[in-house]
Amino acid sequence: MLFLLLILLGAGGVLASGIGLYVICHHLLTADIPAGISHPLKLRILHCGFLLLITWGKVLETLKICSLPRFARFMQDLMPLKQDPDVVVTDLRFGSNPVKLYQQKTSSLTPRTGIIFYHGGGMVMGSLKTYNNLCCQLCKASDSVVLSAGYRKLPEHRFPAAEVDCFASTVHFLKSLKDYGVDPARVVLCGESLGGSLAALICQKLVERQDLPKIRAQILICAVMQGLNFQLPSYEQNKNVPMLTLSFASYCFSHYTDINPAWEPVVLKGGHLPTESWEKYRKWLDQENIPQRFKQRGYRPVSHMPLNETAYLEAGLFLEKQPFPLIAEDEVVTRVPEACLVTCEYDILRDDLLLYKKRLEDLGVPVTWHHMEDGFHGVLSILNFSCLHFPCTTRIINLIVHFIKGL
């Protein structure tokens, strides 16, 4: 028995060493650390940790021990939370949906601004706990009541589970603003990455609701705004930049939409849509809508590949549900509240928000835009890692707080 245990321990050690070596080699061979990133060593450390998490998740998934998404979130949530002595954090449930409520300990004579925050992670990673420090900072710095909305995730739940859950929690909160000391005229929806997409979608859905307080503004940070055109400049320029590579983005997209991952090469080259669809969406998705200065860094325009009928049959069913904020009709987008948009130069999703910015401005919706020249995807999700601080993280938070205070 002891001998068998020693063999198992030895095999485990060899496996762990092998995975660690693979991760380091994979990072060195594939990762693109742009010269414009401040603290490149920190980004390398973060990316190696991310790759280690994903690789172990794939191993455990292959062995049918645990799915990759469940393992990744479990490991993320092991990080200890930093308690803020000035903020009261309450875990609640709105129906079956988990939420966290952040309120300052000091009372206020007047109702406060309300912020509904939707976290990112592509349905694979991220949780209420992951963004705890960010919500504490927003609550304290902007003198607001913050509601962080949780939602169902992979592997059991796909589109539209996240949108359904977040919309339900948002409606519940909007109907209960007085209970939480929130001013109904100052409610802001805020989201990062997939959470930014959820914030934009919910703003669009709420324009029809006459029974609820009007949303004052939306804050979209490095947000997913479309899943049709993967040949925009930022997708080519930043495909190997941590923390969101094109490979991992494709994994999240295919699982979130329940489109067979085997169609990834076709989808990335635009072969999942017919010519008439590209013509319909051209006015919103064409790379010509991207300012020229964002095309200078290693980008060559390419044409979409011919239609793959089989891929279209699968992807078309999903696209009929209009799951992306960028392709909503004009009569909807023109009625959404003013927006604060934050883009990062080294983010694969940069051009998604640049396209949405143009749509909003063309339709007369007020837009405040901030671009982080040294930013990359996920800079707000690493606040729990105090030793791996990046200057652009603080700048983004300060800009958001300034925008909220100016409403």
Give tens-digit pLDDT for 194-211: 999 999 999 999 999 999
Mean pLDDT of 217-241: 96
Work out the mean pLDDT of the chain and round it to a whole number.
92
Cα dihedral value 13, 15, 17, 18, nearest 10: 160
Least trusted range by pLDDT, from 229-238, 280-289, 396-405: 280-289
pLDDT score for 7: 60
| Cα separation, 188 vs 275, whole angstroms | 38
Convert the pLDDT of each residue in 354-391 to its tens digit. 999 999 999 999 999 999 999 999 999 888 777 788 99
Write down the pLDDT at residue 8.
Answer: 53
pLDDT category at 4 given cuts 50, 70, 90 is: low
Give the pLDDT score at 12.
55
Per-residue confidence band for 3, with pLDDT thresholds at 50, 70 and 90? low
Percent of the chain with pLDDT over 70: 95
So where are the chain's domains? Answer: 2-76, 84-407
Query: Cα-flanking dihedrals φ and ψ of residue 271, to 5°?
Result: -85, 5
Which pLDDT tens digit goes with each residue over 80-122? 888 899 999 999 999 999 999 999 999 898 999 999 999 999 9
Homologous superfamily of domain range 84-407: Alpha/Beta hydrolase fold, catalytic domain (3.40.50.1820)
Token representation of residue 176: 């209960």
Residues 127-145: tens digit of each pLDDT:
999 999 999 999 999 999 9
In degrees, rounded to 5, the angle at the alpha carbon of residue 52 between the alpha carbons of residues 51 and 53 is 90
pLDDT for 97 equals: 97
- Tell me which of 278 and 147 has the higher pLDDT: 147
Query: For the residues 165-193, what does the mean pLDDT come to?
Result: 97
Q: Rounded distance, CA 221 to CA 406, Å?
A: 18
What would the mean pLDDT of 272-282 be, rounded to a whole number?
Answer: 88
Copy the structure tokens of residue 122. 């592509």
Q: What's the whole-number mean pLDDT along residues 170-196?
A: 97
Whether the pLDDT of residue 10 is over 60: the answer is no
Query: Could you tell me the strand order of the sheet in which 97-104 lies?
Result: 87-94, 97-104, 144-149, 112-118, 182-192, 217-221, 338-346, 367-376
Contact (CB, 8 A) for 163 and 202: yes
Q: Which residues are the active-site residues?
A: 193, 347, 377
